Amino acid sequence: MNSGLFIASDLSSFKGLFMKRILFSLLIYCGLASVAYGSEPFSHLITMKTSSGGTNYVDATLAGSVTATFLVDTGSGMLVVNRKTFKTLKKSNSITYSHEAAARLANGKIQKVDVYTVSQFRIGEYCEIGAVDVAVIEQGNNILGMSVLKKAAPFAMSITPPTLMLSECTQNLAAHSHLAQ
């Protein structure tokens, strides 16, 4: 009988912890976590483009010279480029093969993908992320996933106006040439 109470008590604390994690996740998603924890406001605001279907996109630069549009997808764990973007990126000689990985696609299927390390990744004009791993898919959207968003965290998204708010960027002073002087 005591063991039954112990299990019930244990489940109760598990539910409490689970609910706290859900609440914290919602705060992060809504951009309230930085207010709740008293951190500084977001240092970089990136304007997103919204498609007619409601998905959000940002422009980014790989290896300092390859510009592409990326779907902002918090459900994706990786930064992903399609074959067309990869071919352009490969010409820059700023990538190295890293490894092969298994990726679960949005349709639930698992696909093998090649993963490369890119020397530099920038979101928008000024949010430098540094070196990143990028998975290559045959076709579809380039995807800005959590592997990069975590590096710029805390982050939030605003729907009106469509804005990606980032905190941990290294500012690109070369792009701000008037600030570098």
pLDDT score recorded for residue 77: 92
The answer to whether residue 150 sits within a structural domain is yes
For 65, the domain range is: 40-170
Give the closest residue to 117 by CA, choosing from 79, 155, 65: 79
pLDDT tens track for 99-149: 999 988 878 889 899 999 999 999 999 899 999 999 999 999 999 999 999
Assess whether 51 and 20 both reside in one domain.
Answer: no
Stronger pLDDT, 170 or 87, i.e. the higher one: 87
Give yes or no: residues 10 and 79 share one domain: no
Structure letter (DSSP) for residue 126: T
- pTM score of the predicted model: 0.72
pLDDT digits (tens, 9 = 90+) for 25-75: 544 444 444 444 444 578 889 999 999 999 999 999 999 999 999 999 999
Q: Is 23 in the same domain as 108? A: no
Sequence letter at residue 89: L
Residues 83-95 have pLDDT tens digits of 999 999 999 888 9
Residue 109 CA: distances (Å) to CA of 81, 83, 114, 142, 165: 18, 19, 16, 18, 31
In the numeric block, the tokens 């298994």 are attached to: 102
